[in-house]
Amino acid sequence: MPDTPHHDRVLIVDFGSQVTQLIARRVRESGVYCEIHPYDKVADMLEAFAPRAVILSGGPASAHEAESPQAPQAIFELGVPVLGICYGEMTMCAQLGGAVEGGHAREFGRAEIRIARETPLLEGLGDIGDEETVWMSHGDKITAIPPGFEVAATSEGSPFAVIADEGRRMYGVQFHPEVAHTPRGALLLRNFTHRIAGLSGDWTMASFRAESVARIREQVGDQKVICGLSGGVDSSVAAVLIHEAIGEQLTCVFVDTGLLRLNEAEQVVTMFRDHYNIPLVHVDASGLFLGELAGVSDPETKRKTIGRLFIDVFDKESAKIEGAAFLAQGTLYPDVIESVSARGGPSAVIKSHHNVGGLPDYMKLKLVEPLRELFKDEVRALGVELGLPPAFVGRHPFPGPGLAIRIPGEISPEKVAVLQKADAIYLDEIRKAGLYDSIWQAFAVLLPVKTVGVMGDARTYEDVLALRAVTSTDGMTADVFEFPWDVLTRAATRIVNEVRGVNRVVYDVTSKPPGTIEWE
For residue 474, give the nearest of 518, 430, 427, 520 by alpha carbon. Answer: 518
Radius of gyration for the alpha carbons in the chain, expressed in angstroms and rounded: 25
Maximal CA-CA distance, the chain: 83
The Cα 290–Cα 259 span in angstroms is 8
Catalytic residue at 86? yes
The Cα 30–Cα 21 span in angstroms is 15
For residue 341, give the nearest of 29, 59, 3 by alpha carbon. Answer: 59
| Beta-strand pair 280-284/250-256 | parallel
The Cα 260–Cα 152 span in angstroms is 54
Q: Which of 7, 176, 243, 353 is catalytic?
A: 176
Task: Tell me how many degrees the CA angle 18-22-24 measures, rounded to the nearest 5.
Answer: 120
DSSP letter string over 78-93? S-S-EEEETHHHHHHH
For residue 136, give the nearest of 94, 187, 85 by alpha carbon. Answer: 85
In whole angstroms, how far apart are CA 87 and each of 55, 93, 185, 392, 484?
Answer: 11, 10, 17, 40, 42
* DSSP single-letter state for residue 365: P
The Cα 25–Cα 28 span in angstroms is 5
Catalytic residue at 429? no
Q: Which of 178, 211, 264, 317 is catalytic?
A: 178
* 177: Cα within 13 Å, side-chain hemisphere: 32
Catalytic residue at 354? no
- How many of the other CB atoms lie within 10 Å of CB of 329? 20
- How many of the other CB atoms lie within 10 Å of CB of 384? 15
Q: Which of 34, 86, 93, 252 is catalytic?
A: 86
The Cα 377–Cα 154 span in angstroms is 34
Packing angle of the helix pair 485-498, 413-432 (nearest 10 deg): 150
Inter-residue contact 161 to 74 (CB < 8 Å)? no
Residues taking part in catalysis: 86, 176, 178
